[in-house]
Structure 1
């Protein structure tokens, strides 16, 4: 059982951390303990300079010629290849395109179309809302499909000959529960179904091995652990064996086999390029590329070890120091079944979260009663989590959260 840390033990862990040098590459405001990189990653210090250079030395100087001179046109595949390393994919299986929601739509429609006669999109209740919303929209658009949700412990048994695609999030956005990607994918394949994985709360915080799990399809966002900036472009993965079979329903010109031939009729590109749609957002991609560069010289064994150790010590400290204050752990206690955030339920979770933010501990609230604390291995320190728990203990002991201003819901929670 993991023991609660004292401050000196936390500092000793930081001194021995092989990732300790990465923190200096991020903008982290003084007086803030940032435990929300699972929602919006911190800004790499190099991002502003990179975007500035692009504006000054590429856009302003070379104008439209930059599409060729600076290979703007190749950015979706070039950045996709960098993400491929992080998710256990080949370079030609990943592209940057659109948002996570749009990519979900493209791949869900393509998967359903590739499984004619199968009418069910299978997911779990409580999956990230946009995943379920997009699935419902796909079912309504196709007209003869149904979205079915089954509790995760019964989901593999529910996959049958009517299942076209299984849509799941690898790490649950609220609880942090991490699913067994290999086992679920194998169960789906045994019934002839495809699987679409949402990696938004995994990529950059945990090793992912899509090819090792024989995964079919995946999507993920660029603004959480990848530190690509608010609204950063998302990515999609299509296994090489499926690329010729699947066709995107959004037949935009960037997914055309010859976009600059300007023909009237759509012909899908070969390979991963067929899943592109509109013109790539080059300024946003430049910021994302700086986020991805932070992983160039790190070991994912080190990232995984630190993620698990941070979570284990945080849970132990909270339960040792904040007992009796109605906090209930809703994340898996077993680090092997947990992503890189830890969530506790509390009857007044929103107000408690606001009280912590006012004191410099930035986590976030997820309805109806959860507070999430995210641990980004590249920049979260063990002393950060020790200090955060000390502040949490004080807020709870003093009932500092029980103030009217902390109960007023902001537009973004």
Structure 2
């Protein structure tokens, strides 16, 4: 047995999270000709938690099928958005009452960015008479490397609020801020490279400029500590189908810091966020707290599947332990790639420094699309990002060190094949 395989066996034996793997339904025999399947695409879609199918069957057959409309009250459907938000809160370092679940990430980005501009302008108005608080805040700064949808939404929000949109790489954000900056939209982890950006420092820089920050946590929540409350983040959004394993299209969430909730003015004031939703009044009055982030009727089936998926975090699993294993997995993967793959065949785009790395490894490879296709055929599932990036996501709750070693070994085999 080669040295990396022996090392993998030792690391798995010492893994304090190894038992969590049983909480997921994994296709252990789905690895094609190469043996067991290795699923390294949890940064796109998390694996299925074992508790979800039975819970959903109960929701469909009993709650919907038998209780029907009574389930809104008797089974707690109505309060699901904030109840599930409170379960997500500890995973992103937030106290209860600041997260509401619902809608897609894109919709929540729109709410948050427009809401941030309105917060900035209301703060300036409160500072003194018109014209005494300095220039009008009419600029939105957006991460120039962001996932495309965030850029599209930011552009639309800029048009709606009469702002100029300014794309800036995260490293350049502090120097780009000024007294016209209203809102800044940033990604905690870069979706292509896996680079982890400095949330505490960037948040502090935005606040020093008198602006409000919105963080996209899609590639960090459930994989590493975030510290929303600790670092004074204003607003944050995130999806739940990646490291939170909520299932395809599971609802996203919106965080609004408690101190800002009474001034948060959502651009989508739906009946579900009304202070008296069943009053059916023509005038809108926002609900107190994070509830004003709700819009329409909750997506109950997806929402309750997510609630069941969050059970995997019960029983003492901490985000700190998950982060420690994530770093160990990604370190070991890079070691195995260096041991198996000929030098120069791939280039690592993910930072080596722990403080700059999320929970994925991105490798640049000229024929990445074909390589990933061959990897999947051999049971190693990652994904490909145009034009030349292989992405491997490491979900510590169900990925082991033997998985990591096998993935690197199969990658080397594929790269050694004719035509690659």
TM-score, scaled relative to structure 2: 0.93
Task: Quote the Cα distance in structure 1 between the aligned partners of 2:302 and 2:67.
Answer: 18
Determine the structure 2 residue equivalent to 1:369: 388
- Counterpart in 2 of 1:127? 146
> Are 1:176 and 2:194 matched, yes or no?
yes
Matches within 5 A, 1:212-291: 212-291=230-309
How many angstroms apart in 1 are the aligned matches of 2:6 and 2:372?
Answer: 27
CA distance in 2 between counterparts of 1:367 and 1:140 reads 29
Kindly indicate whether the alpha-carbon contact (under 8 Å) linking 1:311 and 1:335 is maintained by their aligned counterparts in 2: no
- Does the 8 A contact of 1:325 with 1:396 survive in 2? no
- How far apart are the structure 1 equivalents of 2:243 and 2:76? 26
Displacement of 1:112 in angstroms is 1.0
Q: Where does residue 407 of structure 1 map in the other structure? A: none
Indicate if the aligned counterparts of 1:5 and 1:386 stay in contact, CA closer than 8 A.
Answer: no
Residues 295-314 of structure 1: pairs in structure 2 closer than 5 A: 295-297=313-315, 298-314=317-333
User: Following the alignment from structure 1 to structure 2, what is the Cα–Cα distance between the partners of residues 169 and 175?
Assistant: 12
Residues 5, 382 of structure 1: CA spacing in aligned structure 2 closer, same or farther, 3 A cutoff?
farther
| Structure 1 residue 350 displacement after superposition | 0.8
Residue aligning to 2:59: 54
Distance (Å, rounded) in 2 between the aligned partners of 1:328 and 1:124: 24
CA deviations 1:201-253 (Å, max 9, x no partner) are 00011111101111100000010000000000001100000000111110110
CA–CA separation in structure 2 for the residues paired with 1:61 and 1:121: 49
Residue 114 of structure 1: how far off its partner (Å) = 2.0
Cα distance between partner residues in 1 of 2:66 and 2:409: 52
**Hey, what does 2:124 align to over in structure 1?**
none
Task: Specify the SS of the correspondent of 1:399.
Answer: coil
Decide whether the 8 Å contact of 2:217 with 2:238 is kept in 1: yes
Of residues 167, 170, 177, the one that matches 2:185 is 167
Q: Name the structure 2 match of 1:322.
A: 341
Which moved further from structure 2: 113-122 or 13-22? Answer: 113-122
SS at match of 2:391: strand
Aligned partners of 1:139 and 1:68: how far apart in 2?
39
Match of 1:98 among 80, 98, 103: 103
| Pairwise CA distance, 1:319 | 2.0
1: CA distance between counterparts of 2:76 and 2:25? 28
Where does 1:134-153 land on structure 2 (aligned, <5 Å)? Answer: 134-142=153-161, 144-153=162-171
Equivalent residue number for residue 125 of structure 2 = none
Separation (CA, whole Å) in 2 of partners of 1:266 and 1:125: 36
Matched length: 397
Q: What root-mean-square deviation, in Å, do the aligned CA atoms of Structure 1 and Structure 2 show? A: 1.2
SS of aligned partner of 2:78? helix
Structure 2 Cα separation of the partners of residues 165 and 139 of structure 1: 10
CA deviations over 1:72-99 (Å, ceiling 9, x no partner): 0000000000000101111100110100
* Structure 1 equivalent of residue 42 of structure 2: 37
Moved more, 4-13 or 271-280: 4-13
> Equivalents in 2 of 1:47, 1:221: separation in Å?
18
Corresponding position of 1:388: 407
Q: Deviations over 1:26-61 (max 9, x none)?
A: 111122110000100000111111000111121111
Aligned to 1:27: 25
2:14 aligned to which of 13, 16, 33: 16
1:157 match: 175
Unpaired segments ≥5 residues, structure 1: 403-413
Note the C-alpha offset of 1:300: 2.0
Offset at 1:5?
A: 5.5
Whether contact under 8 Å (1:5, 1:317) holds in the other structure is: no
| In 2: Cα distance, 1:332 partner to 1:190 partner | 28
Q: How many Å separate the matches in 2 of 1:80 and 1:296?
A: 15
